[in-house]
């Protein structure tokens, strides 16, 4: 179509997301948010390197936000358009491949979630405050970006909001400045982060340290005061969980870990880099969500440090986090991973077997069968390799690809080094073929 900006899809699962011609290395976001009116104003500075000579460049940005100014390498642009979730920028001069692409975008509006096949994702207004839950394509609901998991960058996020509220973003709090009725919070996320894992959390929260042994990973809670007692009970075993996962999966990949509990109920918890977000319903005083506490913590290794390049490989995130639930149960004196695996396989055998876990398709990438059968794939691998080889593999996997992008092929190639026999039949039966295979006999 003449004049239409078109690029081949980065990912067939989200053909509208991601952009070619550059690689982002850093985002610097200065945001002002008014809670009462759900009004967001932003100044985004994006530092990138061009990978090809292009007449124009695109960023993902929701139509709920209105762009007022755009600069490229310090100069006001000759032209930009903002349609169909794409901010398309035409620089005054061609930039050579390998050249610096510095973009500044000023924008404002009433942010709202992005609608898609998986429901609404992105910036969400709460009863009192806001949260961001962007998986898989909601980052563009609050800042201009190259919104694809393979695009990882460092971030500085500054959020100015009304002083009664606590504001949290990814990384380390560099400074907090109170000025009249507003407070500015500035965070630095040094480790590379995918756009969908960037987050802002604003609410009537208090922050407190979670008790943990000396020299362990610093852990904090950001939650309403009314939920403090329930939190202390429900998350009491998280420090032990961190010890177990560090032993099994290798060193924790970030400086600290923060759990947010919103004052509202949430259907499911949400992972972000260095942060997990739970609803008030997950903090019931009965430790009823401990399985989910383990799942979200495990995502810090599998999903946040090691991030898939393509959404079709989502089992590398969700299968591993689900298997971590079973590992924790085993360590905490509950049913063993083998018992849970065999129960899960029995339940799956009664469901439709029309899904290939290694490429489930966009409509099914968050299907519970991907989670459970992904975990079963790992249990089958554990039974084949034995505990020693299996956990050695997981530790090498997380250390070798720390803060990087990964694929199924890279994991299966690495696993091959730990096996005396070819693993191709295992991968074919569990990841590629649709019929549900039998689990190998228990090692016990």
Burial of 30: CB neighbours in 10 Å, binned 0-12, 13-18, 19+: middle
- Give the list of residues 6+ apart from residue 339 with CB closer than 8 angstroms, or none: none
- CATH number assigned to the domain covering 206-300: 3.30.2010.30
Mean pLDDT across the stretch 190-210?
A: 97
Q: Is 411 a residue whose pLDDT tops 50?
A: yes
Query: Per-residue pLDDT averaged across 124-152, rounded?
Result: 97
pLDDT of residue 8: 77
271 is catalytic: no
Cα-flanking dihedrals φ and ψ of residue 416, to 5°?
-60, -25
Architecture of domain 22-198: Sandwich (2.60)
Binding-site residues from annotation for Zn(2+): 295, 299, 318
Number of Cβ atoms within 10 Å of the Cβ of 8: 6
Q: Is the pLDDT reported for residue 142 higher than 90? A: yes
Q: What pLDDT score does 443 carry?
A: 66
Q: Is the pLDDT of residue 127 over 70?
A: yes
The mean per-residue pLDDT over the stretch 131-149 comes to: 97
- 315-331 and 337-348 are packed helices; what angle lies between their axes, rounded to 10 degrees? 130
H or E element that contains 33: strand 22-34
On the 0-12 / 13-18 / 19+ scale of CB atoms within 10 A, 435 is exposed
How far apart are alpha carbons 272 and 251 in whole angstroms? 18
Cβ 233 vs Cβ 196: under 8 Å: no
Specify the residue for token string 């696993």: 415
Mean pLDDT throughout 411-429?
98
pLDDT in tens, 348-382: 999 999 999 999 999 999 999 999 999 999 999 99
Check 271, 290, 296, 325 and give the catalytic one. Answer: 296
> Which token pair is 142?
């609050």
**Contact between 416 and 339 (Cβ < 8 Å):** no
Decide if 311 contacts 318 (C-beta within 8 A): no
Q: What is the mean pLDDT of residues 28-51?
A: 98
- Confidence at residue 173, expressed as pLDDT on a 0 to 100 scale: 98
* Alpha-carbon span 88 to 82, nearest angstrom: 6
Which member of 27, 187, 252, 371 is catalytic?
A: 371
Q: What CA–CA distance (Å, rounded) separates 118 from 93?
A: 40
pLDDT at 444: 59
Provide the residue ranges of all domains of the chain, joining segments of one domain with +. 22-198, 206-300, 311-432
Longest dimension (CA), the chain: 69
Q: Indicate the DSSP class of residue 141.
A: G
Q: For the residues 16-43, what does the mean pLDDT come to?
A: 97
* Res 211: pLDDT: 87
For residues 239 and 213, is the Cβ–Cβ distance under 8 A? yes
125 given a catalytic annotation:
no
Q: How does pLDDT run across 306-328, given as a tens digit for each residue?
A: 999 999 999 999 999 999 999 99
The Cα–Cα gap between 255 and 271 comes to 16
**Average pLDDT of the residues of the chain:** 95
For residues 65-92, average pLDDT? 94
Does the CA dihedral 207-208-210-215 come out positive or negative?
Answer: positive
Average pLDDT over residues 75-83: 89
pLDDT value at residue 1: 39
Q: Specify the residue for token string 């393509």.
A: 310
CATH entry 1.10.390.10 includes domain 311-432: yes
pLDDT attached to residue 193: 98
Mean pLDDT of 154-177: 97
Q: What is the reported pLDDT for 309?
A: 97
Q: How far is CA 164 from CA 208, 226, 228, 393, in A?
A: 17, 16, 18, 47
pTM above threshold 0.75 = yes
For the annotated binding site, the residues are: 295, 299, 318
22-198 against 206-300: fold identical: no
What does the alpha-carbon distance between residue 235 and residue 258 come to, in Å, rounded to a whole number? 12
Read off the pLDDT of residues 2-22 as tens digits, 9 standing for 90 and up: 344 456 789 999 999 999 999
Report pLDDT digits (tens) over 153-163: 999 999 999 99
Check if the beta carbon of residue 310 is closer than 8 Å to that of residue 407: yes
């Amino acid at each position: 179509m003449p004049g239409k900006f078109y690029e081949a899809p980065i990912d067939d699962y989200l053909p509208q997301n991601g952009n070619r011609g550059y690689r982002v290395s850093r985002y610097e976001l200065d945001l002002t948010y008014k809670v009462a009116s759900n009004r967001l104003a932003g100044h985004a500075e994006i530092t990138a390197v061009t990978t090809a000579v292009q007449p124009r460049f695109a960023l993902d940005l929701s139509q709920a936000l209105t762009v007022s100014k755009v600069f490229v390498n310090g100069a006001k642009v000759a032209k930009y358009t903002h349609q169909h979730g794409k901010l398309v920028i035409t620089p005054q001069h061609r930039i050579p491949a390998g050249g610096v692409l510095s973009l500044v975008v000023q924008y404002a509006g009433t942010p709202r979630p992005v609608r898609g096949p998986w429901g609404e994702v992105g910036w969400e207004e709460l009863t009192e405050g806001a949260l961001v839950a962007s998986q898989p394509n909601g980052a563009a609901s609050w800042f201009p970006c190259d919104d694809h998991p393979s695009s990882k960058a460092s971030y500085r996020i500054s959020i100015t909001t009304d002083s009664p509220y606590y504001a949290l973003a990814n990384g380390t709090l560099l400074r907090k400045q109170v000025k009249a009725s507003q407070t500015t919070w500035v965070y630095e996320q040094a480790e590379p982060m995918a756009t969908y894992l960037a987050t802002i959390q604003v609410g009537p929260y208090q922050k407190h340290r979670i008790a943990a042994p000396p020299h362990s990973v610093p852990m904090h809670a950001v939650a309403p005061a009314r939920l403090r007692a329930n939190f202390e009970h429900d998350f009491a075993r998280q420090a032990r969980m961190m010890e177990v996962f560090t032993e099994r999966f290798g060193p924790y990949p970030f400086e600290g870990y923060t759990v947010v509990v919103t004052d509202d109920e949430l259907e499911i918890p949400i992972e972000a880099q260095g942060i997990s977000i739970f609803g008030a319903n997950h903090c019931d005083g009965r430790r009823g969500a401990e399985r989910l506490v383990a799942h979200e913590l495990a995502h810090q290794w599998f999903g946040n440090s090691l991030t898939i390049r393509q959404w079709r490989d989502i089992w590398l995130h969700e299968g591993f986090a689900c298997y971590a639930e079973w590992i924790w149960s085993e360590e905490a004196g509950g049913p063993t991973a083998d018992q849970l695996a065999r129960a899960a396989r029995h339940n799956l055998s009664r469901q439709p077997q029309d899904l290939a876990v290694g490429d489930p398709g966009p409509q099914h990438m968050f299907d519970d069968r991907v989670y459970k059968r992904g975990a079963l794939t790992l249990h089958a691998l554990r039974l084949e390799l034995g505990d020693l080889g299996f956990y050695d593999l997981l530790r090498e996997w997380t250390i070798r690809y720390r803060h990087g992008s990964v694929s199924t092929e890279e994991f299966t190639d690495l696993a091959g080094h730990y096996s005396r026999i070819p693993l191709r039949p295992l991968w074919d039966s569990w990841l590629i073929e649709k019929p549900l295979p039998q689990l190998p006999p228990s090692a016990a």
